[in-house]
Amino acid sequence: MKKSGLIFMIFLPFFCFGQVNDRFIDGDFTTLPAWTGITTNFQVNTSGQLQSKATTSSTSYLFTPSEAFDNATWECWVKINYNSTVYNYVSIYIASDRNELSTGCYGYFVQIGGTNKDITLWLQEGTKKTKIIDGTDKRTDRSPCELKIKVTRDSLGKFTLFSKLASETDYTQEGITVQNNIVKMSSYFGLLYVNSSATGSYFYFDDIVVTGNKAIDKENPTWTNFDLEQPNKLNLGFSEVMDFSKAAYSLNQGMGAPSSQNISADNKSVSLTFISNFERGKLYNLQVSGLTDLAGNALLINSKTIGITEPVTIGDLVINEVMFENPDSSAEYIEIYNKSDKLLDVSGLVFTTRKTDGSLNTGNKIPVKTNMLPTNYLALTSDAEKVRKYHNCPSESNILSTEWSTLNNESTTLVLCNSTKDTIYYDELTYNTNWHHVLVKNPKGVALERINPDLPTQDKNSWHSAASEVNYGTPGYKNSQFREIDAIAKESKFVWTDPEAFSPDNDGVDDVCFIRYKTDANGYVANAIIFNAVGVKVYQLASNVLLANEGFLTWDGKTDAGKNANVGVYVLYFEMFNPQTGSRKQQKLPIVVSSR
């Protein structure tokens, strides 16, 4: 390696927009730029190179400030006077959120050497390390190993890794270009070596040039954890490093502000302790203000509700939506609904299917620490983010990734049961693809939604295809086809339509017409027929159906021929009679099928 001229080095910073530029020509690594870390294990040698000087086996590192991340390039010369092994290798941290590694960091690094004697690019999340570019095996299988590395990253997060051995004139690309946006920005550039007891002085670094733009973090942090720890503690977790310096918290039910708080070492979570203890049967709403990430982005959701959980009993939970044939760019899911007024701990409950002999398949357990607020929804799927993105779900939608077993595209029986899968079945649904709306020619990517959680599960009239306007699914929040069923009777009428005009085009707005009725005694039987404007029967809605004291029938615009009724005015003929008393009532009502 040859050193550049002093005059060139003086003016170089003015010709590039480098975040780091160090050739150690000044014989120092503590200023211009300043490197910090395990400084006792480094020195600048007489050749003007940064050299290791560990006296025992070690993992030694230095970091210097560097915010280059978008449209960035990182270059470094490295020499290892040894054939690298798992105990002797180098890591170049091209991006890191911190300048020390006692608890890990969030960033990217290039590893030179190691088990496969290759050059690779890694993502690091705390102490978790994931290889994202796999270089050619045995490329560093030489002693000494002298080379240059170069990494580029564009503004979209596409990384390309290059290397050039001392014997080569051009860079060689290692692996393939990879896009990765797990880490959003950088604060430091670092050098690390791992040495055995005999190789403490065998590592050299030089010609470090880092150029690029500072990444602008525009993403809002999200919640990753919110749980209650009895008797008086709340634990809050977030998706990225947070600035807690201006954060304020307030809990209702007379709890007020916390008496103390404990921020985690990685600044991604906090525990709040309150003077009073939490009480069973109460729901507590936490309001958060002034809490942002390091870039100043605030939480999108600044309030959360929690309480002491209660066990699930029969009638608390129902299956509320099923996507049994997923679109290509999303995943299957089922949705459950908490009908109760309790905060339920649904951890460990199993959702599964029945075999042809009636026994249950293995199924999948709902993950631990999964709670459901009263009258709230939970969608379970193999890939929550994919489902959330595909259906453009609102921020409050509750979607959870779990283990998953593929559902049958035609029909199967879904069962929600306790962890031992014995006699406690909270809900059971045998769905069928024929339950979809007549306009749904291809059920792929269309969910079946329950019109109201209080309707009977195993009745096809309780279900409807999800609306097109929500991309045919509403996982984790209120169904597009939801309708109230507790309607107030209109004056003294015994039958009426709700609405009087509907548009069965599956767009989520008035797709179903409810024919509501109210009887004056028990035992009535009904017949209901839909006629077109010239008196031709188009649909038999009910035939000798035993009525409740009050209730409804539904018409989704389908004709007896299985087609959708044309736009126009139709006539409902509704007749109910009581075989015991001989009482008979008849009514003709207009129903308008419209288009929007």
pLDDT tens sequence across 335-351 = 999 999 999 999 999 99
Q: What's the whole-number average pLDDT of the chain?
A: 90
Q: How far apart are CA 106 and CA 96, in angstroms?
A: 6
Does residue 491 register a pLDDT over 60?
A: no
Q: Are residues 80 and 153 in the same domain?
A: yes
Q: Are residues 37 and 161 in the same domain?
A: yes
Decide if 410 is inside a domain.
yes
Does residue 1 register a pLDDT over 60?
A: no
Return the SS3 of 12.
helix
Half-sphere exposure of 236 (CA within 13 A, CB side): 29
Q: Which of 286-300, 470-484, 542-556 has the highest mean pLDDT?
A: 286-300
Q: How confident is the model at residue 193 (pLDDT cuts 50, 70, 90)?
A: very high
Write the CATH number for 79: 2.60.120.200
Q: How confident is the model at residue 184 (pLDDT cuts 50, 70, 90)?
A: confident
pLDDT (0 to 100) of residue 236: 97
User: Among 490, 423, 427, which Cα is nearest to 454's?
Assistant: 427
Q: How far apart are CA 139 and CA 163, in angstroms?
A: 10
Cβ–Cβ < 8 Å for 490, 463:
no
Decide if 479 is inside a domain.
no
pLDDT tens-digit map of 55-89? 999 999 999 999 999 999 999 999 999 998 889 99
Q: How far apart are CA 489 and CA 388, in angstroms?
A: 39
CB atoms within 10 A of CB 450: 23
Does residue 469 register a pLDDT over 90?
A: no
Q: Are residues 386 and 281 in the same domain?
A: no
Which of 214, 234, 265 finishes a domain? 214
Q: In angstroms, how far is the first alpha carbon of the chain from the final one?
A: 74
Q: Are residues 78 and 151 in the same domain?
A: yes
Return the SS3 of 384.
helix
pLDDT tens-digit map of 40-53? 999 999 999 999 99
332 or 281, which is more confident: 332
User: Among 189, 202, 204, 192, which Cα is nearest to 59's?
Assistant: 192
Q: How confident is the model at residue 25 (pLDDT cuts 50, 70, 90)?
A: confident
Which of 470, 503, 518 finishes a domain? 470
Decide if 119 is inside a domain.
yes
Decide if 466 is inside a domain.
yes
pLDDT (0 to 100) of residue 14: 36
Query: Does the pTM of the predicted model rise above 0.75?
Result: no
Decide if 1 is inside a domain.
no
The tally of domains found in the chain comes to 4
Which of 178, 194, 214 finishes a domain? 214
pLDDT tens-digit map of 246-301? 999 999 999 999 999 999 998 999 999 999 999 988 999 999 999 999 889 999 88
User: Average pLDDT in the 364-382 region?
Assistant: 93
Does residue 527 register a pLDDT over 80?
A: yes
Q: Are residues 289 and 208 in the same domain?
A: no
SS (H, E, C) 241-280: CEECCCCEEEECCCCECCCEEEECCCCCEEEEECCCCCCC
* Lowest pLDDT segment from 229-233, 417-421, 438-442: 438-442
Decide if 486 is inside a domain.
no
Q: Are residues 203 and 85 in the same domain?
A: yes
Q: How far apart are CA 242 and CA 268, in angstroms?
A: 6
Q: Residue 195's beta-bridge partner residues?
A: 58
Q: Are residues 514 and 580 in the same domain?
A: yes
What percent of the chain has a predicted confidence (pLDDT) above 90?
Answer: 66
Does residue 382 register a pLDDT over 90?
A: yes
Does residue 4 register a pLDDT over 80?
A: no
Q: Are residues 417 and 284 in the same domain?
A: no
Does residue 8 register a pLDDT over 50?
A: no
CB atoms within 10 A of CB 420: 9
User: Among 38, 72, 91, which Cα is nearest to 183's?
Assistant: 72
Contacts of 136 (CB under 8 A, 6+ apart): 118, 119, 174
Does residue 352 register a pLDDT over 80?
A: yes
Q: Are residues 441 and 343 in the same domain?
A: yes
**520: domain range?**
495-593
